[in-house]
Amino acid sequence: MRSAAALAEPEIFEAVDCLLCRGHRSTAFISAQDDLTGRPGHFTFVRCERCGFVYQSPRLTVEHIKPFYDAEYLAHRRRNDWGLLSPLFAAAMNSLDREKLRIVERYASLDCGSSVLDVGCGAGTFLERVRREREAFVAGVDFVDLSRQPALQQTEFHHGLFYEQNVGSARFDVITMWHFLEHDYEPLRSLSHARNALKPAGHLIVEVPRLDSLTFRLFGDRWPGLQAPQHTSLYTREMLLNMMTRAGFETVDYLPYGAFPPYFYLFCGVAFKILKGRGLNFRAAIYPYFAGQLVLLPVLPFLKRLNLAMQTVICRRAS
């Protein structure tokens, strides 16, 4: 864990231009802490004066962001890491992966002749489901070397920055980015790389937190979608669609929700407000998390369709 003194060293940060329009001028938007782990430091998001895009600047360099994606990072955890509640955690992850697949198959039919690339694949359970249930070819990319994860053992896995990986040209029927783009240091470059890797009739599916959402208005600087310092950019509906257009995609559909459960943002937002930067112990929080989910079970399907936290865009390569 980095000390407050280490995070104060200016050489580990870099100032950046707007990630959407490359504008040089910006104004302060919001300051956030690492509410997930409680590591020290304040991280600033700014709004571009030219286009209105919100991004983090200054931000930690790529080398210095790596410790924030350690073995305790939630997306990299194994399903049996949660003690007595591991079956509940596994059930929740299975539900998430099923919902991802449902979204994909609204736009693309998957079978043994299909190929799917998941960018920011984490532990790889979504790809494992696609391979097992649809017999499709699957490949994954993640910033962290997760090649030993059980779910990735029969997956073509690439480790590192996506836009530096040789994933092939016009190779994939579907490319998914489930909560990847908000982490990316060069989102336009990654989207261009994805466009090149898609077959001409292929689909790109991107899910990100939605800045112009109810949960941001509720929680402000404790909004889980800030997730500083890992999140480098924040997307309203307008800015997400603009990003896709600039990267050479045309929008097939836009969903004001995603596969990811909005309940997670409601729970964490309340917890972050209470803890005020001290970090959330997920091993302890998993008990009240599932208890609250059980109480709200009758309304969870209704909550999912509200503009609470997430958004998903489905795109094709523009002609």
| pLDDT (tens digit per residue) in 105-139 | 999 999 999 999 999 999 999 999 999 999 999 99
Phi-psi region of 122 (alpha: psi -120 to 50; beta: other; left: phi over 0): left
What is the rounded CA–CA span in Å between residue 291 and residue 293? Answer: 5
Q: What residues in the chain have per-residue pLDDT under 70?
A: 1-10, 71-85
- Answer yes or no: are the C-beta atoms of 251 and 312 closer than 8 Å: no
Phi–psi pair at 159, nearest 5 degrees: -120, 125
- Answer yes or no: are the C-beta atoms of 72 and 280 closer than 8 Å: no
Q: What CATH number labels 70-317?
A: 3.40.50.150
Looking at 55-186, list the stretches that DSSP marks H as alpha helix, in order from N- to C-terminal side. 62-65, 86-105, 125-134
Phi–psi pair at 149, nearest 5 degrees: -65, 135
| Cα first-last separation, the chain | 47
How confident is the model over 247-298, as pLDDT tens digits?
Answer: 999 999 999 999 999 999 999 999 999 999 999 988 788 889 989 988 988 8
- Answer yes or no: are the C-beta atoms of 233 and 206 closer than 8 Å: no
What is the rounded CA–CA span in Å between residue 3 and residue 303? Answer: 39
pTM across the whole model: 0.93
What is the rounded CA–CA span in Å between residue 242 and residue 205? Answer: 15
| Residue spans per domain, the chain | 70-317
